[in-house]
């Protein structure tokens, strides 16, 4: 991937992406606040779909390569791409909510992992480190840095705290497509890959595992879980690189 293959968004496009990000943030905020013990992941998805309708945006994941729901909901050892269903939330669970929307032909994408009630201290730490690693990555999304400066910042922070970063799934460019170039890995050496430029928009999304970084896909063909069954957390923001530094488009 060279710098020239990455689309630079115009100020007009960035305004639309900003609006899309704002709408998505408010949807995710409402969803987060609504999670309670006893709720099924299917009910969360239904609520997400209703909120999308209320805000006049389309859920981007539904039908994407055949995905059957508006959100990906991944519980505990679930890493990403969990299909909402009959699972009933219980005290001590962690729930990753990942949602994309289309507003005015542009995509926005965000993810957050939420604790249900009281969680074990080590799980709390996993959530804190995973979330902080996202911001470590975002800090590196600056003009004239290279793409893998983001990757390196995420990985070093996570590993410093004794956790691991998933290799099998990565972040991505975003705009008129949900997944645009470049891929944004959460691991790797610094100072490699494309040179970052103002107007690039990236979805940065570390997936952080308590144990091994290895994952496997369940028989439903979608749900990604940790190979060792230990918990995993996922946080994602869309970020535009500006002359003044990174601007988060999906602040929740």
Q: Which residues bind Mg ion (CB under 5 A)?
A: 109, 203
Min separation Cβ 147 and Mg ion, Å: 16
Q: How far from each other are the two terminal CA atoms of the chain, in whole angstroms?
A: 31
In angstroms, give the least distance from the CB of 90 to Mg ion. Answer: 27
Kindly tell me which of 52 and 119 has the beta carbon lying closer to Mg ion: 52
Residues in the chain: 252
Structure tokens, 106: 């542009």
Between 80 and 210, CB nearer to Mg ion: 80
Q: What is the DSSP letter of 7?
A: P
Nearest residue (CB) to Mg ion, 13 versus 109: 109
The CA–CA distances, whole Å, from 147 to 1, 87, 120, 142, 174 equal 10, 38, 35, 9, 15
Strand-pairing partners, residue 30, are none
**For residues 79 and 203, which CB has a smaller minimum distance to Mg ion in the complex?**
203
What minimum distance in Å lies between the beta carbon of 236 and Mg ion? Answer: 5
Give the shortest CB-144-to-Mg ion separation in angstroms. 25
Give 220: exposed, middle or buried? Use CB within 10 Å, 0-12, 13-18, 19+.
Answer: exposed
| Rounded Cα gap, residues 90 and 234, in angstroms | 19
Q: Rounded to whole angstroms, how far apart are CA atoms 154 and 143? A: 18
- Shortest reach from residue 239's CB to Mg ion, in Å: 12
203 or 207: CB nearest Mg ion? 203
Q: In angstroms, give the least distance from the CB of 178 to Mg ion.
A: 7
CB of 87 to Mg ion, least distance (A): 22
Whichever of 119 and 235 has its CB closer to Mg ion, that residue is 235
CA distances from 15 to 21, 29, 164, 240 (A): 10, 21, 35, 11
- Cα–Cα distance, 94 to 170 (Å, whole number): 21
CB of 80 closer than 8 Å to CB of 72: yes
Our CB check for Mg ion shows the closer of 100 and 119 to be 100
């Amino acid at each position: 991937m060279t710098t020239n293959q990455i689309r630079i968004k115009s100020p007009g496009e960035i305004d639309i992406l900003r609006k899309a990000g704002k709408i998505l943030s408010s949807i995710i905020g409402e969803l987060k606040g609504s999670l309670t013990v006893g709720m099924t992941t299917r009910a969360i998805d239904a609520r997400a779909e209703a909120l999308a309708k209320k805000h006049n945006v389309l859920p981007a994941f539904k039908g994407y390569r055949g995905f059957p729901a508006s959100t990906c909901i991944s519980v505990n050892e679930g890493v990403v791409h969990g299909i909402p269903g009959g699972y009933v939330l219980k005290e001590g669970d962690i729930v990753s909510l990942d949602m994309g929307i289309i507003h005015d032909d542009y995509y926005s994408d965000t993810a957050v992992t939420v604790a249900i009630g009281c969680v074990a201290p080590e799980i709390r730490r996993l959530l804190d480190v995973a979330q902080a690693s996202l911001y470590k990555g975002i800090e590196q999304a600056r003009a004239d840095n290279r793409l893998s400066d983001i990757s390196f910042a995420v990985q070093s922070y996570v590993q410093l705290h004794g956790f691991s970063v998933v290799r099998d799934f990565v972040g991505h460019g975003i705009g008129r497509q949900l997944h645009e170039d470049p891929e944004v890995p959460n691991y790797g050496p610094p100072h490699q890959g494309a040179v970052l430029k103002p107007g690039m928009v990236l979805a940065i999304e570390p997936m952080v595992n308590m144990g091994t970084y290895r994952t496997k896909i369940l028989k439903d063909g979608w749900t990604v879980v940790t190979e060792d069954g230990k918990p995993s957390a996922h946080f994602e923001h869309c970020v535009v690189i500006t002359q003044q530094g990174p601007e988060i488009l999906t602040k929740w």
